[in-house]
Chains A and B, each alone.
Chain A
Amino acid sequence: MTILANRYDFILIFDVTNGNPNGDPDAGNLPRLDPETNHGLVSDVSLKRKIRNYVELARERQEGYHIYVQEGAILNEKHRLAYKALRPDDPKVDKDKSLNPRDDAESIKLRDFMCRNFFDVRTFGAVMSTGINAGQVKGPVQLTFATSVEPIVPVEISITRMAATNEAERKQKVEGSDASDRTDNRTMGRKHIVPYGLYVAHGFISAKFAERTGFSETDLELVFEALTTMFEHDRSAARGEMTSRNLIVFKHENALGNAPAGKLFDMVRIGRNIDGQFREIDRRLDNFPPARKFSDYIVAIDRADLPSGVEIIEKL
């Protein structure tokens, strides 16, 4: 378990084909949009959920890889862990009604226990109601909203179902029309899809916070593994086809970093592929047909102005 000694910044590029990457509860589950630019958005928490779910599947019931914030759909079997309790049993504690640790030392013990056992607490942090310094664990991994590189146009698709939910619905249908058997029980529904969208998310990994939560090199590899394959295990009727396309990692030589993250992210340029040529994304592209597949884009990395002490690792 080597603790992280380097700062990392990463760019995740993923796409969606005929699906809804992240619905907006405020807009009837339409794909999230930036109302000013019509670029699509995917919230940070949505990506974190997928990372958690992937780890849950990939490291099922392994010690130290439990997931604290779970989707109830995942069946949790009881499992016993053979670790030593940190504190010998203290009869007084059983009678205590208070839920707060007695002192800082104990709250640190509780925090360490959570970090050691739960991958998501160790990675993203968690808020614990310990009342001491708000009991927050700040995790080393920080993700931002993913934004699409071009404006997206969500399409609303009406679908039908050849069944009614209940008797009342069926009656209504029959009374209202000279219905045939075939349309008797039919109900209509709605799906929102993005025909195609290429999204970019930025992430940061702080080596200094990793020290505090015990986030190790092994955990880092698992995070990268999750980022590259999480959509493969998140298939559903709503999602369409989602694929991680590129994961570009900037590894700094030291814990504090060697270059501003913004500068590094600017080195990755995404343009449209027009007859094999890289074209900046701007209004002049409006004369061309809209992008509908990943090969309509070109992802270029300007290695020329790579700051010293930073290494580019293309994980995907």
Chain B
Amino acid sequence: MSFGIRLKVYGDYACFTRPELKVERVSYDVLTPSAARGILEAIHWKPAIRWVIDAIHVLEPIRFQSIRRNEVGGKAPAGKVKSAMKRGDLEDLQLLVDEDRQQRASTVLVKPGYVIEAHFEMTGKAGPEDNVGKHLDTFSRRAGRGQCFHQPCLGTREFAAHFELVPPDAPQPRTIDETRDLGLMLWDIDHGAPGKPSLFFRARLENGVMKVPAPNSREILK
């Protein structure tokens, strides 16, 4: 058994994109477990540990807004990079934004606020010098001081996340009074399996709290 942590995260906007609505992005109603994991890993992570999200507490009313932006349609093709490397010349290695432009709308969350309840487990990569206490201390120290590996974000990098550690003895912050079915939600992406399949679970908000199933539980749908 390892000890859990609680982290309060909030910001001006958030976009936890639904995988089925990717092009004109539409956010989930609530922070997803995989985005929460990303936030924790932005503060502290080592291959020796694996974060497990237990619950998400929703502190602010769920509201949406639409933002449309000019985006580019393409990625940097590896083949072109390779041939430029071989030629030793950067000609036509560029992306012209006005020729490859897509205007895309994003439906984003406004002024979200959450408490992430999580713990971590040791993985097979843990050495003798890795112990639970050490990593828990490191995380708590960093989160308490506002230190991070990189500024965590709420779904996409333009929506920065501010974070505060909720001390173990502090009362649970008040959540919104809402109970509803959130439908199927992305639990996480299975990075270990070939093809990186997505895993889902049936998300429910109970008085503002979304319980997240444990890894390998029957509730996770492959």
Contacts and interface: CB of A to CB of B under 8 A. Distances in A.
A70 B96 contact: yes
A204 B89 CA distance: 33
Interface in A38-78: 41, 43-45, 49, 66-73, 76, 78
Contact of B158 (A99, A140, A143): A143
Interface stretch (B28-36, B115-123, B127-135, B143-151): B143-151
Interface residues of B, number: 51
Contacts of B164: 260
Given A35-B65, A142-B150, A142-B151, A128 B76 contact: yes
B189 to A, nearest CB: 10
Contacts of B149: 206, 208, 256
Contacts of A143: 158
A127 B160 contact: no
Contacts of A128: 75-78, 81
B151 A26 contact: no
Interface stretch (B97-105, B177-185, B199-207): B97-105
Contacts of A121: 76
A82 to B, nearest CB: 7
Contacts of B186: none
* Chain B interface helix/strand/loop/mixed: mixed
A110 B89 contact: no
Contacts of B13: 145
B94 interface: yes
A135 B85 CA distance: 17
A263 B165 CA distance: 13
Contacts of B75: 126-129, 135
Contact of A142 (B71, B84, B157): B157
A69 B70 contact: no
B90 A117 contact: yes
B79 A99 contact: yes
A101 B80 CA distance: 11
Contacts of B211: none
B150 A85 contact: no
A147 B12 CA distance: 10
Interface of B: 12-13, 63, 65-72, 75-79, 81-82, 84-86, 88-91, 93-99, 103, 105, 110, 142, 145-151, 153, 157-160, 162-164
14 contacts: A26-B66, A32-B67, A45-B70, A72-B97, A93-B82, A99-B79, A110-B81, A114-B76, A135-B75, A138-B157, A142-B153, A142-B157, A256-B142, A259-B145
Closest 10 CB pairs of A and B: A260-B146, A206-B150, A99-B79, A262-B162, A204-B151, A44-B158, A256-B147, A128-B76, A26-B68, A72-B96
Given A70-B97, A101-B82, A113-B84, 18 more contacts: A24-B68, A25-B69, A32-B67, A34-B65, A80-B89, A83-B88, A84-B88, A85-B85, A99-B79, A110-B81, A126-B75, A129-B76, A131-B78, A142-B153, A142-B157, A144-B160, A260-B163, A261-B162
Interface of A: 7, 9, 24-26, 32, 34-36, 41, 43-45, 49, 66-73, 76, 78-87, 89, 93, 99-101, 107, 109-110, 113-114, 117, 121, 126-131, 135, 138, 140, 142-145, 147, 202, 204, 206, 208-209, 256-263
